[in-house]
Amino acid sequence: MSDAPPNPPPNTLENTSDEYFLFVDPEQIRRERQKAKDLRVSQWWRQQIGRGRCYYCERQFPKEQLTMDHVVPLARGGKSSKKNCVVCCKECNNSKGHRMTVEMTMASMDDNS
């Protein structure tokens, strides 16, 4: 993995639209990945991680076991915005894959019935 020099793009992420694109430009995904990288070293993210709580299962974890997850995956046109990036434990991260939160909730409801 080669690390690009820390040069965060101007933050225009608050104006993300609600539209999901079926086809996402690979270049856009690359850009959003870089933004996620920048976000991970931000004060804001340290605060999120500091709470130690997984967004999905709401259990507490030591921060080493928490990762950043995109609620709307980048592959579905999701952005690396503060709204779209959540704290996620590795377990949830693995089980979620590329599914959306709604789909995941429905799947777990099936399991429990």
Query: Is residue 69 part of the contact set for Zn ion (CB under 5 A)?
Result: no
Task: For residues 54 and 68, give the distance between their C-alpha atoms in angstroms, rounded to a whole number.
Answer: 10
CB of residue 63 to Zn ion, shortest distance in Å: 13
Task: For residues 27 and 8, give the distance between their C-alpha atoms in angstroms, rounded to a whole number.
Answer: 16
Q: Which residue from 29, 57, 68, 104 is in contact with Zn ion, where contact means CB under 5 A?
A: 57
CB of residue 101 to Zn ion, shortest distance in Å: 12
Q: Which residue from 35, 49, 56, 96 is in contact with Zn ion, where contact means CB under 5 A?
A: 56
Task: For residues 70 and 89, give the distance between their C-alpha atoms in angstroms, rounded to a whole number.
Answer: 12
Query: Is residue 66 part of the contact set for Zn ion (CB under 5 A)?
Result: no
Task: For residues 113 and 94, give the distance between their C-alpha atoms in angstroms, rounded to a whole number.
Answer: 22
Q: Which residue, among 16, 62, 18, has the nearest Cα to 35 in the 3D structure?
A: 16
Query: Is residue 89 part of the contact set for Zn ion (CB under 5 A)?
Result: yes
Residues in contact with Zn ion by the rule CB under 5 A: 54, 56-57, 89, 92
